[in-house]
């Protein structure tokens, strides 16, 4: 259960003609992928919501704090991705350092995280598109608008269609995916920059007072909805004040989810030892700067207590008499979510492919397309499954599973850096995480703290999925593993 797969063996697996992926990505492609998946509805919605309810204008500091937590994890990811340039991200890293069972658990976790993330984003994209259609008097029938809109039966045809189109793009090839992503990200970032620049002219200094509002005790949660930290330690999170900034950081952290997807493309990168650290850290830095700038603009345009929750940035422009920018923001959000959906789907297929290549899932899914050299079988299987989930399911209540799954992956990667430094100190490392062991330990502590702030209900669902994963491992993966066959 705790046998590890050597880095050399992992790299040799990528050289098999039928099971290797084409190397076509540069540092710029990776940075674009990172920016493409991180910037989503968070920058248009979450900023204002957190400012109104949790941190006020100090939301900018909350983004900085969340960015620091992600940076700690990113430095650990950068070392692993440059040392073990193989598809699978945290799954592959865990296999090389912590053993097969831990690798399976993290792989099982990532499959759930990326699947639900893709479906949730597709449903959100559908909502923005329907809103834009309503602006020109095109109304989608309720029965085709999904269960959130329709009374009774509803199928979200737009969300389903988006996932199927993106699946086809990913089958054709990574370079095409990178080109599509580059165009969409350029539009998305252009809209964000335009909003920031336009918003600067409507900022009023008095809206920043007080920058850190007086602290208020949050209403105590109860039962399944209460944060786990409250039940364990009696700690009750605070709104506003200095502690409110950290409470807000645990919320806005989820606007950064996705930078770890960059690591899943390590095997398809031309010079992974050099370009993976640049792509991971570069995309995180760009997005942190944009998030901080947007939060300062929105709280400067309108007093935090007057911000709307559903569309704060768009409504702030409406309040200043500029509805054009409100429409522009909706357009930017709809365009932006396209790349978020595609890159999450990309990440999931690469993890599934890597697990299949190792024999923990059926080897049928580890063969690449003879022409495109992409993992087309898991891409098609997962794409169709997620399209159906996105069409039929209202998954708002499951979205928090994406968050706990990401944080769990952060913990495993940070621990993996510590283990691999000790067990293989002479392994060539193109990028070395600084301040080991202090930095990985801080990364684990920060991620665990944010996990403890999630509801008990989320922990229960996550635990149920993990138990199912362990059963599947002992029923199939343990006996079919390539490592098991080679050791017989």
The candidate with the shortest Cα–Cα distance to 433, out of 67, 70, 27, 78, is: 78
- As separate numbers, helices (DSSP H) first and strands (DSSP E) second, the chain gives 20, 2
pTM: 0.83
d(CA 171, CA 15): 20
Q: What is the mean pLDDT of residues 452-479?
A: 89
Instruction: Identify the pLDDT of residue 120.
Output: 80
DSSP 8-state assignment for residue 477: I
Tens digits of residue pLDDT in 85-108: 887 778 888 898 889 999 999 999
Check: CB of residue 32 under 8 Å from CB of residue 183.
Answer: no
B/e letters for 210-239, b = 16+ CB within 10 Å, e = fewer, are eeebeeeebeeeeeeeebbbbeeeeeebbb
Check: CB of residue 335 under 8 Å from CB of residue 184.
Answer: yes
Q: For the chain, what percent of residues have pLDDT higher than 70?
A: 91
Q: What is the mean pLDDT of residues 396-411?
A: 74
Instruction: Identify the pLDDT of residue 224.
Output: 67
Q: What is the mean pLDDT of residues 324-339?
A: 78
The candidate with the shortest Cα–Cα distance to 94, out of 300, 471, 358, 336, is: 358
Q: What is the mean pLDDT of residues 290-312?
A: 86
Tens digits of residue pLDDT in 199-246: 899 899 999 989 999 988 766 555 666 777 777 777 666 788 888 898
């Amino acid at each position: 259960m705790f046998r590890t797969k050597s880095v050399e063996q992992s790299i040799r697996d990528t050289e098999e003609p039928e099971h290797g992926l084409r190397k076509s990505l540069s540092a710029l492609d990776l940075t674009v992928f990172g920016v493409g998946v991180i910037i989503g509805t968070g920058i248009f919605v979450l900023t204002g919501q957190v400012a109104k309810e949790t941190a006020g204008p100090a939301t900018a500091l909350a983004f900085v704090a969340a960015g620091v937590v992600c940076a700690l994890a990113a430095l650990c990811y950068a070392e692993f991705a440059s040392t073990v340039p193989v598809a699978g991200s945290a799954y592959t890293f865990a296999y090389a350092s912590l053993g097969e069972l831990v690798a399976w658990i993290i792989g099982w976790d990532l499959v759930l995280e990326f699947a639900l993330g893709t479906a949730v984003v597709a449903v959100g994209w559908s909502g923005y598109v329907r809103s834009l259609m309503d602006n020109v008097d095109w109304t989608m029938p309720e029965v085709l608008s999904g269960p959130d809109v329709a009374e009774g039966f509803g199928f979200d045809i737009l969300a389903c269609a988006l996932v199927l189109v993106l699946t086809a793009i990913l089958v054709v090839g990574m370079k095409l995916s990178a080109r599509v992503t580059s165009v969409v990200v350029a539009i998305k970032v252009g809209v964000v920059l335009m909003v920031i620049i336009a918003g600067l002219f409507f900022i009023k200094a008095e809206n920043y007072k007080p920058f850190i509002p007086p602290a208020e005790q949050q209403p105590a949660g109860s039962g399944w909805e209460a944060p786990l930290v409250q039940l364990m330690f009696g700690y009750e999170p605070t709104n506003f004040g200095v502690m409110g900034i950290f409470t807000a950081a645990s919320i806005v952290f989820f606007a950064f989810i996705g930078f770890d997807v960059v690591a899943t493309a390590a095997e398809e990168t031309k010079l992974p030892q050099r370009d993976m650290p640049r792509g991971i850290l570069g995309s995180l830095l760009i997005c942190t700067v944009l998030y901080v700038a947007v939060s300062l603009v929105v709280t400067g345009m309108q007093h935090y207590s007057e911000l709307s929750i559903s569309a704060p940035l768009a409504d702030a422009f409406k309040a200043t008499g500029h509805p054009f920018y409100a429409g522009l923001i909706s357009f930017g959000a709809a365009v932006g979510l396209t790349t978020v959906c595609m890159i999450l789907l990309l990440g999931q297929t690469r993890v599934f492919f890597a697990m299949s290549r190792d024999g923990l899932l059926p080897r049928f899914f580890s063969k690449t397309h003879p022409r495109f050299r992409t993992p087309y079988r898991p891409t098609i299987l997962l794409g169709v499954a997620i399209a159906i989930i996105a069409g039929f399911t209202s998954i708002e209540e499951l979205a928090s599973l994406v968050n706990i799954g990401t944080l769990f992956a952060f913990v495993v990667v940070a621990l993996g850096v510590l283990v691999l430094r000790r067990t293989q100190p002479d392994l060539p490392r193109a990028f070395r995480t600084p301040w080991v062991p202090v930095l990985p330990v801080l990364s684990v502590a920060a991620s665990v703290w944010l996990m403890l702030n999630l509801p008990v209900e989320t922990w229960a669902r996550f635990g149920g999925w993990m138990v199912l994963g362990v059963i599947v491992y002992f029923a199939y993966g343990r006996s079919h593993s390539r490592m098991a066959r080679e050791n017989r």
